[in-house]
């Protein structure tokens, strides 16, 4: 006598289960960007009162960093709130990439009209290479993963980095901006333009959800300090010529000594 209600309940449970699985499947297919997923990040920020005050403070700051970075990722994909301006933000991102900077610097170095211009471009090229090495070293040590809502594009596929801290675009923007302000820019309007460009490039990393807020903040500070190192290690054109001449003289001496020894043996 109790079998029909039991069958009805079991059928109702099976229907609910299939409906839930169908809704979950539709939700997974409909959201191509994890910006809207509340469980996108897997970091555990659970805090216990028995932990040291330093650990509690650090976890609290990391939670704020994660929350703020997720809120700022407004162009993470086309379905994001500001997804319509994503191509423009990606263009800003590409303007801070190392590829166009290196190509433009080397081209100006080879076609410079004066020795002073070539000297500036030479040190800018060395500064870009130094930035690549330092950022790669810090990323290898820290090994922080990128935000979960980050989505790679064609323009961001060059020199793909798995790690997030610090932001290489932010370090490059700060260093190049300070370099240009100190060496090339001499008008107020151009100074505002250079500073605004560096700020927008750094902001693009947050809007596209490429980095966390702390990645960009530390990258700006790191890039600002990198120029001080470049200024201390400034390579003059005369010093470079003397160095090249010394190396060339050493090679000629070695070749002459080798020929002289060969003739002496014969």
- Check if 169 is active-site: yes
| Residue carrying structure tokens 């994909």 | 77
Which listed residue (25, 111, 211, 266) is catalytic? 211
Q: Are 134 and 226 in contact (CB under 8 A)?
A: yes
| Residue carrying structure tokens 């659970």 | 46
The catalytic site residues sit at: 169, 211
């Amino acid at each position: 006598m109790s079998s029909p209600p039991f069958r009805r309940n079991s059928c109702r449970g099976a229907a609910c289960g299939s409906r839930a699985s169908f809704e979950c499947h539709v939700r997974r297919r409909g959201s191509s960007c994890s910006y809207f997923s509340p469980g996108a990040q897997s970091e555990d920020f659970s805090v216990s009162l028995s932990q040291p005050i330093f650990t509690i403070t650090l976890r609290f700051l990391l939670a704020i960093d994660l929350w703020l970075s997720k809120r700022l990722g407004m162009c993470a994909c086309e379905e994001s709130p500001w997804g319509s301006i994503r191509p423009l933000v990606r263009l800003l991102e590409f303007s801070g990439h190392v590829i166009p900077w290196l190509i433009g610097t080397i081209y100006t170095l080879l076609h410079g009209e004066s020795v002073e211009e070539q000297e500036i471009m030479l040190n800018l090229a060395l500064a870009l290479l130094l930035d690549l090495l330092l950022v790669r070293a810090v990323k290898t040590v820290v090994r922080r993963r990128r935000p979960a809502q980050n989505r790679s594009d064609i323009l961001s596929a060059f020199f793909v980095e798995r790690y997030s801290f610090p932001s290489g675009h932010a370090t490059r923007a700060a260093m190049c901006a300070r370099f240009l302000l100190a060496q090339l820019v001499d008008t107020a309007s151009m100074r505002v333009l250079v500073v605004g460009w560096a700020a927008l490039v750094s902001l693009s990393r947050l809007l596209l959800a490429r980095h966390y807020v702390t990645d960009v903040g530390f990258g700006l500070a790191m890039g600002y300090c990198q120029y001080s190192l470049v200024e201390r290690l400034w390579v003059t054109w005369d010093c470079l010529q003397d160095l090249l001449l010394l190396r060339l003289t050493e090679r000629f001496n070695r070749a002459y000594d080798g020929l002289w020894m060969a003739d002496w043996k014969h």
